[in-house]
Amino acid sequence: MALWIVPGAPLPHGEGWRIWCCAPGEQEFPAPRVQVMRKGVLQAMDSSEWSLLPRVSGLGRRMGVLTLRLRPTEVEPGAMYEFRIAEDAMPKPVRWRSLPRGIGPDGVTFLTASCFWHDSDREGTYAAGLKEIGKLHQPAFKFLLGDQVYADWPSEWGIGGSAARLYAGRYAQYWSDEAYREALRTCPNFFTCDDHEFWNDYPERQIHLYRTWTQARRDRYGEAADQLYYAYQRCLNPHEGRWYQFTIDPVSFFVTDTRSQREVYRKDGNAQFIPDAQWQALEQWQQSLRGPGVLVLGQPLFQKDGDWKDHSLSNFSRDYARLWALIERSLKGDNDHRQPHDILVLSGDIHTGRYAEAHGPISDAKHGVPEFIASPASMIVPGSTDVEAPPDRITVSVDGKRRYWVVDRAHVPIMTLDHNVGVVRMIPGTRERGQPRVRFECLLYRIRPYDGRSWWEKA
């Protein structure tokens, strides 16, 4: 029985790991045998918890999550461990870090990626690139920021078959590819989703997609997509969360889900891209910051309004203003301990890799609001013909007053359509007024040049 193995979110404080296992058939199966080594020494486990996920009709596979907890005496946050998993599941050992507790003198590095279209990466360039980047930077984990699967392209009509079977088939195409699983296995993963886990511009109607033509179909296919997203990705997040947070002292991370519970767009701008419960958690996170924040979004913060074909966060004007107000409060020090904190925004989605800074009403914020985008890992075809630049000016209404944020092109050093992966390195900085400072280095690696010519131009 050949298992598919993918690491999920590492446990807090370096205590252990989550490992996703997938077996053919719908019967229950036992957890694989796992040995964890550190510098050649077998590590003792405090506990090993095996949880089988519920069956999904039409999937033809069964999933489980193995949670490994190190014995407290074996815990070394941020250290590299070697994993030997039953040979029929993974013939070669892999090396994964435990989650660092804090940012030490050598810093902490992680990766970001989004938008992987399988048909453009049959030869495994994504995996090869991640392995080379891993050798250079030894990342602790990676953020997969959405569109890890394109469930809607190429489009399948789904007439006569179940919704679950349609999505299960597309996930199987991606996850059955050893090269893609190898890419996922390069280091532990934190997941969020975007529209293509469901369909383009979810939850909106799409002219070219039969599954979206009626509300009943949108409900049925949306539910099936959400089930498969849970079974393949979300089950590996902390507490299986759609949104979640964690800390590598003094940096605090909040990973949002701006897609799976999004309301249908309304012209008054009052529809929500995240629900009230997530807003409450996000605003509490901002209030409790004791150092820099990293905010992970499935869609960019710096983006022009979309249209009926593909909406942006800015189309949801009330939530968009609320998000900017949260960032502004952090920069002003409007929080529980009255100290300002920068927030780095990470995103994907737009098939353009770029770094940009928006500068606005908070003059003390030297770098304004920085946004780093890694997209695409593998470009969809037909793909983009030009990079998507951030808007020159962003206007939002905060507390009844207009706020203007300017994106100076001098602070947009690169924009690229090439297949790419982001690297973020966090390094301790000097303390200022008793507050911890962290230097963030953002690197964008080209995995493969993008060739946007049509097939007849290439002939």
Look up residue 297 and give its two tokens: 């979004």
Which position has the token pair 């004007």? 317
95: confidence class by pLDDT, cuts 50, 70, 90: very high
Burial class (CB in 10 A: 0-12, 13-18, 19+), 346: buried
157: confidence class by pLDDT, cuts 50, 70, 90: low
Q: How much is the average pLDDT of 129-155?
A: 98
Tell me the Cα Rg of the chain.
22
Are the CB atoms for 32 and 5 separated by under 8 Å?
yes
Q: Which of 141, 129, 204, 137 shows the shortest CA–CA distance to 346?
A: 141
Q: How much is the average pLDDT of 18-32?
A: 95
Q: How much is the average pLDDT of 164-177?
A: 95
Dump pLDDT digits (tens) for 287-321: 999 999 999 999 999 999 999 999 999 999 999 99
> What pLDDT does residue 429 have?
86
Q: Which stretches does DSSP call E strand in 86-204? A: 94-97, 108-113, 141-144, 189-191
> What pLDDT does residue 159 have?
60
Q: How far apart are CA 375 and CA 112, in angstroms?
A: 9
> What pLDDT does residue 451 have?
83
Domain ranges of the chain: 1-101, 102-458
Burial class (CB in 10 A: 0-12, 13-18, 19+), 311: buried
pLDDT at residue 247 above 60?
yes
Strands 94-97 and 80-85: antiparallel
Q: Which stretches does DSSP call E strand in 1-114? A: 4-7, 16-24, 34-38, 41-42, 45-52, 61-70, 80-85, 94-97, 108-113
Q: For 72, phi and psi rounded to 5 degrees? A: -50, -35
> What pLDDT does residue 86 have?
82
Are the CB atoms for 180 and 127 separated by under 8 Å?
yes
pLDDT at residue 403 above 80?
yes
Burial class (CB in 10 A: 0-12, 13-18, 19+), 197: buried
Q: Which of 81, 59, 69, 60 shows the shortest CA–CA distance to 18?
A: 69
pTM of the model: 0.96
458: confidence class by pLDDT, cuts 50, 70, 90: low
Q: Residue 99: which H helix or E strand, with range?
A: none
CATH of 102-458, one of 3.40.50.1980, 3.60.21.70, 3.30.450.20, 3.40.50.170: 3.60.21.70
Q: How much is the average pLDDT of 185-201?
A: 99
Are the CB atoms for 303 and 313 separated by under 8 Å?
yes
Q: How far apart are CA 149 and CA 197, in angstroms?
A: 6
* Range 1-101 has CATH code 2.60.40: yes
70 by DSSP, 3-state: which?
Answer: strand
> What pLDDT does residue 411 have?
75
Dump pLDDT digits (tens) for 360-380: 988 778 889 999 999 999 999
Beta carbons within 10 angstroms of residue 141's beta carbon: 23
400: left (phi over 0), alpha (psi -120 to 50) or beta: left
Q: How far is CA 143 from the centre of its chain?
A: 4
Which position has the token pair 């499935």? 298
399: confidence class by pLDDT, cuts 50, 70, 90: confident
**Rounded mean pLDDT of the chain?**
94
